[in-house]
């Protein structure tokens, strides 16, 4: 699952649940496992993962900035977006080390039923999840 989708899910959970913050944090990290099961297309299997990775990271950063500056979400709720995506550092570190087999986060283990789809349906699914999450962020106001 793209990082930006995980960030959106964390923001949506934060916007809807709000408190207690420990529960929001647990749900945000837990959402990473659930989303990794959903059939999706990952650019890590594409021929050009680095440009896609930059697009993903920049979109994630832009989303966080929009939530802070334009949507006026409190920073502790916005933090749940990056927290939901944080387990993907596991994938980044594994890729940099050239050791993709050794991951610490359960939904990145080879034995985990990681969802896979071809690019068009895999991206459409992620787009639909992002749209639902944006609707949840808007519906969760005021924070």
Question: Could you say which DSSP state residue 19 is in?
Answer: S
Stretch that binds Zn ion, among 19-27, 30-38, 73-81, 119-127 (CB under 5 A): 30-38
Query: CA Rg, the chain, in Å?
Result: 15
The residue written with tokens 């050239």 in the block is 98
CB of 6 to Zn ion, least distance (A): 7
**Using CB under 5 A as the criterion, what x/- string covers residues 71-90 for binding Zn ion?**
-----------------x--
Alpha-carbon distance values, 82 to 77, 101, 118, 126 (Å): 10, 24, 26, 17
Among positions 33-62, residues that touch Zn ion (CB under 5 A) are 36
Number of residues that bind Zn ion (CB under 5 A): 2
CB of 95 to Zn ion, least distance (A): 12
Q: Is the dihedral of CA 69, 71, 76, 77 positive or negative?
A: negative
Q: Is the dihedral of CA 35, 112, 61, 4 positive or negative?
A: negative
Alpha-carbon distance values, 1 to 8, 33, 56, 71, 125 (Å): 12, 10, 10, 25, 10
Q: Which is nearer to Zn ion, 26 or 68 (CB)?
A: 26
CB of 103 to Zn ion, least distance (A): 9
CB of 70 to Zn ion, least distance (A): 27
**Using CB under 5 A as the criterion, what x/- string covers residues 87-116 for binding Zn ion?**
-x----------------------------
List contacts with Zn ion (CB under 5 A): 36, 88
């Amino acid at each position: 699952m793209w990082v930006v989708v995980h960030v959106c899910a964390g923001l949506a959970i934060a916007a809807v649940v709000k408190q207690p913050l420990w529960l929001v944090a647990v749900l945000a990290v837990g959402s990473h496992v659930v989303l990794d099961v959903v059939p999706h297309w990952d650019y890590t299997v594409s021929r050009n993962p680095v440009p896609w990775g930059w697009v993903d990271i920049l979109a994630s950063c832009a989303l966080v900035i929009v939530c802070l500056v334009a949507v006026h979400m409190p920073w502790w709720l916005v933090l749940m977006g990056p927290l939901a995506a944080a387990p993907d550092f596991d994938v980044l570190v594994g890729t940099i080390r050239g050791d993709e087999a050794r991951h610490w986060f359960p939904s990145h283990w080879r034995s985990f039923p990681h969802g896979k789809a071809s690019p068009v349906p895999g991206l459409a699914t992620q787009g639909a999840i992002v749209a639902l999450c944006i609707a949840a962020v808007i519906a969760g106001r005021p924070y």
